[in-house]
Structure 1
Amino acid sequence: MNIFIVLALAVATVSAGVVPQDIPVHPRDRTFAPSISGRITNGKNAAENQFPYQVGLSFSGSGSWWCGGSIIANNYVLTAAHCTDGASSVTIYYGSTVRTSPKLTHSVSSSNFVQHANYDDETLNNDISLIKTPTVTFSASINKITMPAIASSYSTYVGQTAIASGWGRTSDSATAVAKNLQYANLQVIANSVCQTSYGSKVVTNGVICVASVNEVSTCQGDSGGPLALNSRLIGVTSFVSSKGCEKNAPAGFTRVTSYLDWIKSKSGISA
């Protein structure tokens, strides 16, 4: 993220009446060179078939980068707009626990991306994209995650413990490639609490935040991946603190319940 964008975001947030204590960045933007290394900071190794809805996404464009995503139908993956933004193609890794050993891969071009038209890379709002994929056959290792019900759109989930998963960095200084899919249990916090870190321009009703405790958080490489609660998809990994993934600052996700209508209109998929 360049200096202009960071300053513009800070000014815009102050003008909204909430003075931020931190600057958010997309996990993808925290690396200085394209990388697919690392895992969730201080997470746990996932068991085989524990997260059959998790996919790895290897994007190509002006460079290359790694993100996560969630299977929401046998022909659609949900991820973050900052992952698809600027990409010309993606290779989807299905059924991986060991990142380099997927059960199946498919490659599709950007013509199969449905990026939210109002995605804003300054405020980070509307950070959500769909990827239309070839049809896959579900199994123990490859399966969809259930979408949240429309009725749950009014739930904040505050105080509940959700699970984030992905292959993001193990630490702010990590350089080694992660072998196994990682996951972490993270407690959802109120948006008002998250706004004290990032301001109300960033933390809107379309965002859900979790607390980072004991240096456990999402990090570079986790972008676009799932935040699940009771086997339902409630968040898409969107941003972390610019200070680092191990600074115990809140992590932000796109709130899926805020985009159920958008998902249905673009893919026909409903809860």
Structure 2
Amino acid sequence: MKVFLTILALAVASASAYESVVHPKDLSKVAKIEGRITNGYPAEEGKAPYTVGLGFSGGWWCGGSIISNEWVLTAEHCIGGDAVTVYFGATWRTNAQFTHWVGSGNFITHGSADIALIRIPHVDFWHMVNKVELPSYNDRYNDYNEWWAVACGWGGTYDGSPLPDYLQCVDLQIIHNSECASYYGTGTVGDNIICVRVVDGKGTCGGDSGGPLVTHDGSKLVGVTNWVSGAGCQAGHPAGFQRVTYHLDWIRDHTGIAYY
């Protein structure tokens, strides 16, 4: 019994050594709707036409990615309320090319992973509003280690800043899950997670929840913004995303979208 208790104590001590994480949506709010890319750069018109803003009826803001004429991919922790207003083709957040109101009957949550789908009215594509492709099934085992990717969203440039309404993007490097797990533990960083380095305070934060992580090479959607370090967005610790390749079957089963 003493041996068991010693092992248990060591396990608890080891677990407590890992950092906590927080959903960007749940960070403390400032006077305006919170949501930010920290230390990124303003996006020119049409840079990320697949990025949408999601204004939920409960009053919070998230991001999402257009993956077809009728579907948006986002984070499950964003989903809630009776409806969402989807902002399409916005560079200035409140000046979208157009918006659609979508009732909660069109929300599909995963249940065991922080990823969700929203069925949208059919939208036509052009240079300001377009889809992003998912990885193909041939790439389902690609871990994308050390690949560069871009994340985009609306928000401030530092912890605690108010929301500047202009779309921001930031270039981030994907890291091996073992490096990420050294901060947060394997209980947080499972096979369904993909992480990026946060260098010089550059990363995701606030209402960037649910937004896209898209590779520079090939422009494939590989991540859905999930969490940042509980120490803050600019603490220099990795940020986590749902790994899209892990969910290709789930996405296909609900939407019919797949790349072979």
TM-score by length of 1: 0.87
Q: Report if aligned partners of 1:49, 1:141 keep a CA contact under 8 Å in 2.
A: yes
Question: Post-superposition shift, 1:165?
Answer: 0.6
Q: Which letter maps to 2:136? A: A
CA separation in 2, counterparts of 1:244 and 1:207?
19
Structure 2: how far apart are the matches of 1:34 and 1:157? Answer: 38
1:246–1:268 distance in 2 versus 1, CA, 3 Å: same
How far apart are the structure 1 equivalents of 2:140 and 2:122? 29
Of the candidates 80, 99, 102, which is equivalent to residue 105 of structure 1? 99
Larger Rg: 2
- Alignment counterpart, residue 50 of structure 2, candidates 49, 53, 56: 53
Name 2:20's counterpart in structure 1. 23
SS of the counterpart of 2:205? Answer: coil
How far the C-alpha of 1:231 sits from its partner, in A, is 1.0
CA distance in 2, matches of 1:19, 1:265: 38
- Residue in structure 2 matched with residue 222 of structure 1 by the alignment: 208
- Residue 254 in 1 paired to residue 251 in 2? no
1:242 to 224, 227, 230: 230
- 1:185 alignment partner, SS class: strand
2: distance between equivalents of 1:213 and 1:203?
Answer: 19
- By how many angstroms is 1:35 displaced? 4.7
Unaligned runs of 5+ in 2: 1-7
Aligned to 1:130, which of 117, 136, 141?
A: 117
Structure 1 partner of 2:75: 80
Tell me the equivalent position of 1:184.
Answer: 170
What is the CA–CA distance in structure 1 between the aligned matches of 2:41 and 2:69, rounded to whole Å?
28
Tell whether 2:222 aligns with 1:267.
Answer: no
Q: What is the root-mean-square deviation of aligned Cα atoms in Å?
A: 1.8
* Cα offset, 1:109, TM superposition: 1.0
Is this contact kept in 1: 2:36–2:155, CA < 8 A? yes
Q: CA separation of 1:20/1:59 partners in 2, compared to 1, >3 Å: closer, same or farther?
A: farther
Q: Given the two structures, how large is their TM-score scaled by the length of structure 2?
A: 0.91
Match of 2:64 among 61, 69, 86: 69
- Residue of structure 2 equivalent to 1:210: 196
The Cα offsets for residues 177-224 of structure 1, whole Å up to 9 and x where unpaired, read as 313111111000110110011111110000000000001110001000
- Asked if structure 2 preserves the Cα contact closer than 8 Å seen for 1:168 and 1:218, the reply is no
1:132-147 to 2 correspondence within 5 Å?
132-147=119-134
Confirm or deny: 8 A CA contact 1:18 1:200 kept in the other structure. Answer: no
**Closer, same or farther in 2 for the Cα pair 1:20/1:234, shift >3 Å?**
farther
CA distance in 1, matches of 2:136, 2:15: 32
Return the offset for 1:100. Answer: 1.1
Secondary structure of 1:40's counterpart equals strand
Post-superposition Cα deviations, 1:23-79, rounded to whole Å, max 9, x if no partner, equal 011000112478524520110000100111000000113xx1000000000010000
Structure 2 letter corresponding to 1:253: F
Q: Percent identity?
A: 47
**Cα 1:35/1:111, change in 2 over 3 Å:** farther
Q: Kindly tell me: are residues 27 and 37 of structure 1, through their superposed partners in 2, closer, same or farther at Cα, counting changes over 3 Å?
A: closer
Q: How far off its partner does 1:87 sit? A: 2.3
1-structure distance, mates of 2:101, 2:71: 13
Unmatched 5+ residue regions in structure 1? 1-10, 119-125
Distance in 1, Cα, partners of 2:84 & 2:248: 24
Match of 1:97, as an amino acid?
T
Q: Residue 3 of structure 1 aligns with which residue?
A: none
Q: Distance in 2 between matches of 1:238 and 1:258?
A: 14
**In 2, are the aligned partners of 1:236 and 1:256 still within 8 Å (CA)?**
yes
